[in-house]
Amino acid sequence: MANMHFPFSSAPTRTIEEIQFGLFSQKESERLAVIDIEYPETMDEARLRPREKGPNDPHLGTIDRNFKCATCEEDQVECPGHFGVIKLAVPVYHHGFLKQVKKILETVCHNCGKIKAVEDEAFRSALRIRSRKARFDKIWELSKSKLICEPDPPEEENAAKQGLPVIRHGGCGNVQPQMRKAGIQLFAAFKPRKSEEDDEIPGGAQPEKKRFSAQDALNVFRNMHDETLEILGLNADYARPEWMILSALPVPPPPVRPSISVDGSGQGQRGEDDLTFKLGDIVRANQNVLRTEHDAPPNPFALR
Ligand SMILES: [Zn+2]
Ligand SMILES: [Zn+2]
């Protein structure tokens, strides 16, 4: 039992007063990390020491009694391990939040970030729902079928006169897409505009469907006001929708994903945990994206 070997600590104990759950922002993930993970290899070329800036960088902590942690300089008993980070070349959807991200994209205008539902009686009663989750679901229901961000509804003045909470509305008039989820991707489908040419196409014009990237979602979310988040039941300080998109991936310390000595001697070859292999795959894929972006020929259409 490792616990029995902990020496006496004179550090003062504190009472926990509050626990706040929330999402990690990109900044938080980067601030928490002791090192950027940039290489997929776990060991150096001689295969004797963990590779620097690899998934088992010595700054992340030690699981080997022969090495001390490069961050806190403690041994494997004392060092709790430290997080690293992979800075992603392009933002990606977080699989666990994809459904929620799609719902928010169906609730607000992709151009101005305002809630699409107009201020009618149904919307006002939705605003009175105290449960954040139930309120979000109701407003989502009222908004998802709106395929236009309605400009200035006349109800706005009346609502102000009756002393009801005034919600910033008065849309921008932009056409809104229908969102579709396929696997781990999102697509935006725009209804074809009615025109005389439609009659010539058998079955009418098909909706225009395009891939909706995590960067697109991020652009929409950054347009949302804090008041909009509050109305939707999202906490602007601890759970902003842009944090549901990953731009920096936290790398858990090696004690979370320990490698095992293949021959049992603690020396020589080690078998890595599946999570470590996966992190290596992510770093490799990330490097490929970075290289492609870097080497891409300049877009001739962008030159004028
Ligand atoms: Zn340490
Ligand atoms: Zn709008």
pLDDT band at 303 (very low <50, low <70, confident <90, very high): very low
Distance 143 CA to ligand 2 centre (A): 12
Residues 6+ positions from 269 with CB-CB distance below 8 Å: 47, 261, 262, 263
- In the prediction, which pLDDT does 46 show? 80
Half-sphere exposure (Cβ direction) of 244: Cα atoms closer than 13 Å? 23
Q: What is the pLDDT averaged over residues 219-247? A: 95
C-alpha span between 142 and 111 (Å, rounded): 18
Range 21-83+252-296 has CATH code 1.10.10.410: no
Distance 73 CA to ligand 1 centre (A): 6
C-alpha span between 190 and 200 (Å, rounded): 20
One-letter amino acid at 174 equals N
Distance 50 CA to ligand 1 centre (A): 15
Distance 255 CA to ligand 2 centre (A): 48
**Cα–Cα distances in angstroms (integers) from residue 75 to residues 66, 83, 186, in the given order:** 8, 17, 46
Residue 63 has pLDDT above 70, yes or no: yes
Q: Which ligand is located closest to the Cα atom of residue 34?
A: 1
Distance 239 CA to ligand 2 centre (A): 23
Distance 40 CA to ligand 2 centre (A): 43
pTM as predicted: 0.80
Distance 149 CA to ligand 1 centre (A): 52
Q: Which residues make up the environment of ion ligand 2, defined by Cβ < 5 Å?
A: 109, 111-112, 149, 171-172
Residue 197 has pLDDT above 60, yes or no: no
Residue 188 has pLDDT above 50, yes or no: yes
Residue 168 has pLDDT above 60, yes or no: no
Q: Which ligand is located closest to the Cα atom of residue 149?
A: 2
Q: Which ligand is located closest to the Cα atom of residue 107?
A: 2
Kind of pairing between the strands at 84-93 and 178-182: unpaired
> According to CATH, where is 4.10.860.120 located in the chain?
21-83+252-296
